[in-house]
Amino acid sequence: MKVYETKEIKNIALLGSKGSGKTTLAEAMLFECGVIKRRGTVDAKNTVCDYFPVEKEYGYSVFSTVFYAEFLGKKLNMIDCPGGDDFVGSAITALNVTDTGLIVINGQYGVEVGTQNIFRTTAKLKKPVIFAMNQLDGEKADYDNVLEQMKEVFGNKVVPIQYPLSCGAGFNAMIDVLLMKKYSWGPDGGVPTIEEIPAEEMEKAKELHQQLVEAAAENDETLMEKFFDQGHLTEDEMREGIRKGLVDRSIFPVFCVSAEKDMGVRRMMEFLGNVVPFVEDMPVPVDANANEVKPDSNGPLSLYVFKTTVEPHIGEVSYFKVMSGTLNAGADLDNISRGSKERFAQINCVCGQIKTPVEKLCAGDIGATVKMKDVRTGNTLNEKGCEYSYDDFIKYPAPKYQRAVRPVTESDAEKLSAILTRMHEEDPTWVVEQSKELKQVILSGQGEFHLRTLKWRVENNDKLPIVFEEPKIPYRETITKASRADYRHKKQSGGAGQFGEVHLIIEPYTEGMPAPDTYRFGSQEFKMNVRDTQEIPLEWGGKLVVYNCIVGGAIDARFIPAIVKGLMDRMEQGPLTGSYARDVRVCIYDGKMHPVDSNEISFRLAGRNAFSEAFRNANPKILEPVYDVEVMVPGDVMGDVMSDLQGRRAIIMGMESESGFEKISAKVPLKEMSSYSTALSSITGGRSSFTMKFASYELVPGDVQEKLLKEYAATQTEE
């Protein structure tokens, strides 16, 4: 295989909703450029891009797949991304390491929520976008309606390059308004017949051609002047104008294809080869230290590892992009992310599971290597002296589905931990947390199917049976009024005993409140003389503030740290439900000690028990985590979605229309979001999506608190 220079390389992400036909389109593209001799199908489980066992089991893409096409003297590196919203992490990764998004639209169903979400990501990353309207041979296909919908959602920058003469079973011809030719195919697709445009289509074709010329000319002053002078542009001039328009996102071309019948695919690839921006046409990326990383083959050698995976019969494979310099086989590089050294004994160009060894890869190219010693997804590998770093180069969405996970056999816990760590490294949107608070391993992901896929792989590939359970909720405990208590700890068992007595007052803490002065409980008044203050920020949120108000040496200062430890014992395991407590301030104002029997453990226990008693008398409340939730839904199901949210104790904060969909903003308790992704998919037929982000802790309703207290009391009785 020839070595491609930076100026000959184009990197493209193949994107779109589930079922839009991306993998089938990839097969047709690979067939057209001669990489494969026969096209596989998803049903036959023999496609280049869906080669993992779990993908063959489920019948659609679960992982992104890197492949390349040598076409028109160019190298097109492409990444086929799964379309399910659960696997959005793969699409986000692909867009960060490619330069153009090719978004496949289902010609039968139009713009779906997943399509909109991925388009937003391209906008955020400022990536060019090309649309391929696929499945125009489907019985429900409606090109005109879908094009209108695309313009409504994505704006008037959507410009057709082609339009079909008919849709549905009769789709076999289209008009190309860039080349001003008619393309038609036989029943089996493949090589088209290219003819002049029929007279009855000429007026429509000229009108669309004129719109395309104007859109191309808008991006170049010279072209604009030439267009005004001559009224037309040459084919090369239009290509140049469209390329510039793609780079600054002022034009989104639309192509027509039937990937299954290989109609229109070769013509679209010609456009990709001739018009799509090269690596060096795109804005220069910036690393974590704000250094510009120019894709210069003669620059310092620097790689970014964007994906690692364990593949059948091969082992660990590391996929990387050459950000700068030229990588030669046998190169030694420093892994600056992990402080190790790596040798690239062999480098490969990749087409699914087919690995083709090459001598070198230039800046901007994408490749893979196998069996590295200590390489993980997101690592930076540099030659000596190069200081580029790509830490946090890719920002992933927050998880929105959680399950507690444990092995069926308790002795396999360590093995499961190693497997989950490895799988997080393969897909960073699988997040694993060993929760000390909940005493569970919490697995978070983008949806139920996302986690079910992980479970399938653990049980089928690693042969380790596991159990998913409802995760516990990280409640918090706090108080709502001031309270006082005292406790004497006394223990005598021969010899030195234990003695410690603590008197304290507790009250709710809020940021900025004045220091304590006087408290009144019934007819008693307690005046505080603050000698020392400790503010303890709690790692789970909120604060514990402790005031030493001891006068007259009732408790020696050396025992105060022990009392604080006792308070923290109860802050870590609240008296109501065993949850973390927060936002409490404590005044230690009196007590007693014994010249012989007083020690640290005595005052720790006295402080702990006094705090527990005071806490229970301070009108304690349970707080629950509440999340900001945004749901994107089609208008026809908005009422059903709203009803479901209200049944989940949601507070609706607002509604607005956005690009053809309705956006509902709400605050919802985490407890009620446990199975929301599954319910939303069921209500809307998979046409909706949502995001959730932690907002705050709020008081639980009285009936919910009563239920939680009874449940906790029952567990304590059992223990």
611-666 residue pLDDT tens: 999 999 999 999 999 999 999 888 889 999 999 999 999 999 999 987 668 899 99
Distance (Å, whole) CA 202 – CA 180: 9
**Residue 476 confidence (pLDDT) above 90:** yes
CB atoms near residue 443 (< 10 Å) = 25
One domain for residues 583 and 695: no
Global confidence as pTM? 0.83
Residues whose CB is less than 8 angstroms from the CB of residue 351 and which lie 6 or more positions away in sequence, other chains included: 30, 35, 48, 66, 67, 68
Distance (Å, whole) CA 256 – CA 150: 14
Domain end, chosen from 445, 472, 499, is at: 472
**Residue 24 confidence (pLDDT) above 70:** yes
Q: What is the CATH number of the domain that holds 626?
A: 3.30.70.240
Instruction: Kindly report which listed range (53-57, 352-356, 709-713) carries the lowest average pLDDT score.
Output: 53-57
Range of the domain at 179: 8-201+250-281
One domain for residues 164 and 257: yes
One domain for residues 466 and 495: no
One domain for residues 325 and 448: no
Q: Which of 192, 183, 247 is nearest to 220 (CA)?
A: 247
pLDDT digits (tens, 9 = 90+) for 674-702: 889 889 988 988 778 888 999 999 999 99
One domain for residues 60 and 94: yes
Cβ atoms of 306 and 320 within 8 Å: the answer is yes
**Mean pLDDT along residues 210-224:** 83
pLDDT of residue 689: 85
More confident residue, 222 or 466: 466
Does residue 232 belong to any structural domain of this protein?
no
pLDDT digits (tens, 9 = 90+) for 106-141: 999 999 888 988 998 999 999 999 999 999 999 999
Domain end, chosen from 472, 487, 505, is at: 472
Domain end, chosen from 382, 412, 430, is at: 382
pLDDT of residue 666: 97
Does residue 233 belong to any structural domain of this protein?
no
One domain for residues 87 and 166: yes
One domain for residues 615 and 667: no
Does residue 245 belong to any structural domain of this protein?
no
Q: What tokens appear for 591 in the block?
A: 């007590």
One domain for residues 650 and 572: no
**Mean pLDDT along residues 60-78:** 90
More confident residue, 406 or 658: 406
CB atoms near residue 672 (< 10 Å) = 18
Q: What is the CATH number of the domain that holds 463?
A: 3.30.70.870
One domain for residues 126 and 268: yes
Instruction: Kindly report which listed range (5-19, 167-181, 424-438, 537-551) carries the lowest average pLDDT score.
Output: 424-438
One domain for residues 166 and 115: yes
**Residue 509 confidence (pLDDT) above 50:** yes
Cβ atoms of 579 and 476 within 8 Å: the answer is yes
CA atoms within 13 A on the CB side of 188: 2
One domain for residues 64 and 185: yes
Does residue 105 belong to any structural domain of this protein?
yes
Neighbouring-strand partners of residue 534: 546
**Mean pLDDT along residues 160-184:** 95
One domain for residues 550 and 531: yes
Does residue 355 belong to any structural domain of this protein?
yes
With tokens 């909703």, the residue in question is 17
pLDDT of residue 719: 45
Does residue 390 belong to any structural domain of this protein?
no
> DSSP of 166-221, one letter per residue?
--GGG--EEEETTTTEEEE--TT-SSPEEEPPPHHHHHHHHHHHHHHHHHHHTT-H
Cβ atoms of 28 and 93 within 8 Å: the answer is no
The per-residue pLDDT of the chain, averaged, comes to 92
Cβ atoms of 398 and 691 within 8 Å: the answer is yes
Cβ atoms of 372 and 334 within 8 Å: the answer is no
Give the chain's domain count. Answer: 5
pLDDT of residue 717: 65
Does residue 225 belong to any structural domain of this protein?
no
Does residue 53 belong to any structural domain of this protein?
yes
Q: What is the CATH number of the domain that holds 127?
A: 3.40.50.300
Share of the chain above pLDDT 90, in %: 73
